[in-house]
């Protein structure tokens, strides 16, 4: 009472809360941010893989700083990283296991929860076969956990229908690398962005999505200013993104015309003899048919397809061809496509015919999404066996069976269903139980209505997540509360194959357990602990086995220990870049040039659905916002989605800025989105961020998938936009 009076009168100004103190490490700072001890770790958001120092006090993470000694970020962090400690004690954290009883999720003990899972899944598998269980993992786990999960799913639960949310993200890059080089594995490093003299970014808005990489361009420019010719940054993107605005040349290509552009550049390179014939001769196959194929892609035709001027195509091709070292980076603009895998192959083609691979500054380079998407690709069990091994290779299977000391017949000979096919299977009744781990498909999966049908069709749905409720966990029969970044130990691999250490900072909230502990507990209940995880107690046990499994493979972890990883600010498997010797893991040792056809995207606009909807991200948020909506600063910066529309279209439709609109596709409608009228998007196109479950862009996106990678085509679908009219009730 007295305090309230004092506050009302202004005698008490909460001075204690607003005092400053001297932190011996960080200097003068708000007292609440003074740390007792500092723990090195790696950021848990995107795949840039920034090194962090987290200040901890009284068992609470109080501050995050970029680690100045970490080679990835040199002390810098994006706004999500700088505020990452706030997610640990966020109110939305899942704290206890919940089991649906009489239609309501009710708190239960861990024992009851795990028992219920084993019993329900067991019954379903008994009745419908082992493959009736579908499991969707995640690039949010540490590699050690993902490896453990894969073993548990494939050899414990013995279902092949296991995939990761990485299929929504990087699967096309994986498939494209495999097509061209015979194996997954990004050939380059971030440092190449500093030394290349031409940087071509295709469908990559790094300023919003990987902001810490932008400093590489800046540093390149600083060096380039002393060099001739100066560095040229070229950005191909239908939208004038933040990154496009940083470019020397922006290529405002028509949506999904990238293959034509790449083939067109190859055409010019061959025509003008800007190719490396020796490299082609020594290290590739398929050049003859490739050059015949791209012969059709004359600048004139490519100009018609891409909407670029012929001179621009020639200029870009010549810049690329004449570069001493040329770098091509791409992200979701390429991957999120029904032609994603082959688009990646088309990118690789350019690098191969000019010999821009395996050298300083020269690489085709996928910039990955999640913090450990790469680790899940290496540890596999989804689209390949661990260590980039192949399901269909008897030698690979035999090798693994020997290391694991299991019967070789227990190892599947082919991959199971991919993510979209598992969802499809749930709808069609083939999949009867689903287990989602640290992913939120209710926001991230395309064509929401089908996903919803899948979630409501299965007999048993397990959602294991650090947060509850999420739009997905609302459907769950069982919610398993999991530890998140900052509460567990293991490694993340970033885009440049750098394995970095993630360390526990605090204990998980409530009864939440690490995913690793959950997997081990399930294995124990399944009775497979002894066989699969003999004597394992910590993720370090998983790491040691993973070292043996990956030894001698491209992604060889046997070369470094956890301690070395930590001391060196991460270790890159394969060194700074792959394929320096020009030898590729294709069998013949040669990379393959693919003749990639250009096809228009699936759902073209028509009279009824006259606009092309493009989806993407904003720097303040991470994926489906389960984490960033819990960080007040980030949430308040961008609290809602918006729809970008060109002024010309808005004028035709007589729409004004800030009008509320609905976006309607053949599948569904996103209602009540704020309109942003801007020249950032082209006439005929609209853009909206996908982070917001409240206005879920995936209600309208298209459920069309790449035939090779199974990645969805999030980036183009036909919609119309109408003024939103508030319903009366």
Residues 2-61 that bind another protein (CB under 8 A): 7-11, 13-15, 17-18, 20, 22, 24-33, 38, 53
Residue ranges in 73-92 that form contacts with another protein under rule CB under 8 A: 73-79, 82-83
Q: Which among 368, 364, 194, 367 is positioned nearest to 265, based on CA atoms?
A: 364
Q: Of 126, 398, 507, 633, which lies in the binding site for another protein, with binding defined by CB under 8 A?
A: 633
Q: Do residues 227 and 198 make contact, with C-beta atoms less than 8 angstroms apart?
A: no
Interface residue with another protein among 3, 95, 109, 222 (CB under 8 A) is 222
In 3D space, the residue among 380, 386, 374, 454 whose CA is nearest the CA of residue 420 turns out to be: 454
Stretch that binds another protein, among 215-223, 479-487, 527-535, 597-605 (CB under 8 A): 215-223
Residue with tokens 């395996």: 358
Among residues 272, 657, 707, 723, the one that binds another protein under rule CB under 8 A: 657
Q: Does 219 bind another protein (CB under 8 A)?
A: yes
Given 71, 139, 185, 340, the residue binding another protein (CB under 8 A): 71
Question: For residues 451 and 442, is the Cβ–Cβ distance under 8 A?
Answer: yes
CA-based radius of gyration for the chain: 25
Nearer to another protein, 74 or 403 (CB): 74
**Choices 240-248, 316-324, 475-483, 521-529; region in contact with another protein by CB under 8 A:** 240-248
Q: Which stretch binds another protein (CB under 8 A): 217-225, 272-280, 452-460, 596-604?
A: 217-225
The three-state secondary structure class of 43 is coil
Q: Interaction with another protein in 248-277: which residues (CB under 8 A)?
A: 250, 252
The piece of 153-161, 214-222, 267-275, 503-511 that touches another protein (CB under 8 A) is: 214-222
Q: Which is nearer to another protein, 384 or 618 (CB)?
A: 618
Nearest to another protein of 486, 712 (CB atom):
486
Q: What angle do helix axes 258-271 and 340-353 make, rounded to 10 degrees?
A: 20
Site size for another protein, by CB under 8 A? 77
The string over 99-112, giving b where at least 16 C-beta atoms fall within 10 Å of a residue's C-beta and e elsewhere, is bbeeeebeebebee
The smaller minimum CB distance to another protein, of residues 326 and 677, is found at: 677
Sheet holding 460-465, edge to edge: 104-107, 98-101, 478-481, 460-465, 433-437, 133-137, 162-164
Residues 196, 365 contacting (CB under 8 angstroms): no
Sign of CA dihedral 107, 108, 110, 113: negative
Cα–Cα dist 333/369, whole Å: 12
Enclosing H/E stretch for 175:
helix 171-181
- Specify the DSSP class assigned to residue 14: -
Residue identified by tokens 């010309």 is 648
Q: Does 727 participate in binding another protein (rule CB under 8 A)?
A: no
- Regarding 207 and contact with another protein (CB under 8 A), the answer is yes
Q: Which stretch binds another protein (CB under 8 A): 204-212, 419-427, 439-447, 709-717?
A: 204-212
Q: Is 494 in the site for another protein (CB under 8 A)?
A: no
CA-CA distance, 674 to 661, in Å (whole number)? 6
Two structure tokens written together for 586: 């294709």
Q: Pattern 518-547, binding to another protein, x per CB under 8 A?
A: ------------------------------
230 binds another protein (CB under 8 A): no
């Amino acid at each position: 009472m007295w305090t309230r009076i004092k506050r009302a009168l202004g005698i008490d100004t909460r001075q204690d809360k607003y005092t400053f103190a001297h932190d011996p490490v960080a200097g003068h700072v708000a007292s609440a941010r003074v740390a007792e001890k500092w723990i090195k770790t790696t950021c848990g958001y995107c795949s840039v893989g920034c090194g962090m120092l987290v200040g901890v006090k009284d068992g609470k993470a109080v501050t995050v700083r970029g680690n100045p000694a970490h080679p990835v970020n040199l002390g810098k962090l994006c706004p999500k990283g700088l505020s990452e400690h706030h997610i640990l004690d966020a109110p939305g954290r899942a704290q206890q296991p919940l089991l649906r009883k009489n239609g309501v999720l009710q708190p239960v003990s861990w024992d009851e929860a795990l028992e219920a899972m084993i019993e329900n899944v067991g019954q379903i598998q008994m009745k419908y076969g082992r493959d009736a269980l579908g499991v969707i993992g995640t690039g949010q786990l540490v590699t050690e956990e993902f490896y453990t999960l894969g073993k548990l799913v494939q050899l414990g639960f013995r279902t092949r229908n296991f995939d990761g949310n990485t299929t929504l993200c990087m699967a096309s890059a994986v498939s494209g690398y495999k097509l061209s080089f015979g194996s997954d594995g990004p050939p380059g490093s971030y440092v190449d962005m500093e030394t290349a003299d031409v940087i071509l970014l295709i469908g990559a808005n790094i300023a919003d999505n990987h902001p810490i990489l932008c400093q590489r361009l800046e540093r390149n420019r600083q060096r380039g200013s002393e060099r001739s010719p100066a560095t040229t940054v070229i950005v191909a993107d239908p939208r004038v993104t933040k990154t496009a605005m940083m470019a020397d040349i922006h290529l405002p290509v028509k949506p999904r015309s990238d293959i034509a552009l790449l083939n067109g550049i190859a055409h010019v390179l061959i025509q003008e003899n800007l190719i490396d014939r020796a490299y082609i001769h020594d290290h590739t196959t398929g050049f003859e048919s490739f050059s015949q194929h791209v012969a059709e892609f004359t600048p004139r035709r490519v100009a018609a397809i891409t909407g670029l001027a012929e001179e621009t195509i020639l200029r870009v091709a010549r810049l690329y061809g004449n570069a001493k070292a040329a770098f091509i980076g791409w992200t979701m603009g390429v991957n999120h496509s029904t032609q994603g895998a082959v688009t990646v192959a088309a990118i690789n083609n350019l690098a191969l015919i000019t010999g821009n691979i395996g050298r300083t500054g020269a690489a085709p380079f996928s910039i990955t999404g999640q913090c450990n998407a790469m680790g899940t690709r290496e540890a596999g069990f989804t689209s390949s066996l661990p260590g980039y091994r192949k399901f269909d290779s008897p030698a690979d299977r035999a090798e693994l069976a020997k290391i694991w000391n299991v019967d070789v017949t227990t190892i599947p000979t082919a991959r199971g269903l991919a993510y979209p096919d598992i969802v499809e299977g749930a709808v069609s009744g083939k999949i009867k139980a689903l287990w989602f781990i640290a992913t939120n498909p209710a926001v991230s999966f395309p064509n929401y209505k089908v996903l919803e049908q899948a979630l409501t069709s299965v007999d048993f749905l397990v959602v294991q997540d650090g947060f509850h409720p999420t739009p997905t966990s609302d459907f769950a029969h069982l919610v398993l509360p999991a530890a998140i970044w900052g509460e567990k130990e293991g490694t993340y691999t970033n885009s440049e194959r750098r394995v970095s250490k993630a360390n526990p900072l605090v204990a998980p909230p409530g009864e939440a357990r690490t995913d690793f502990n959950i997997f081990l507990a399930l294995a124990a209940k399944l009775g497979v602990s002894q066989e699969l995880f003999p004597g394992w107690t910590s993720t370090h046990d998983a790491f040691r086995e993973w070292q043996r499994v990956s030894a001698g493979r491209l992604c060889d972890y046997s070369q470094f220990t956890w301690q070395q990883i930590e001391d060196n600010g991460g270790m890159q498997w394969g060194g700074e870049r792959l394929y320096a010797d020009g030898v590729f893991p294709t069998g013949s040792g040669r990379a393959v040039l693919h003749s990639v056809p250009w096809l228009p995207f699936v759902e073209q606009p028509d009279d009824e659905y006259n606009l092309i909807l493009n989806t993407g991200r904003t720097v303040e948020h991470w994926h489906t916002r389960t984490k960033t909506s819990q960080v007040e600063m980030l949430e308040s910066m961008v609290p809602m989605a918006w729809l970008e529309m060109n002024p010309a279209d808005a004028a035709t439709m007589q729409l004004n800025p800030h009008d509320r609109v609905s976006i309607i596709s053949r599948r569904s409608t996103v209602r009540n989105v704020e309109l942003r009228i801007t020249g950032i998007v082209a006439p005929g196109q609209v853009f909206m961020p996908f982070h917001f479950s409240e206005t879920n862009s995936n209600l309208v996106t298209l459920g069309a998938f790449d035939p090779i990678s199974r990645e969805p085509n999030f980036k183009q679908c036909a919609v119309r936009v109408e003024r939103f009219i508030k319903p009366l009730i």
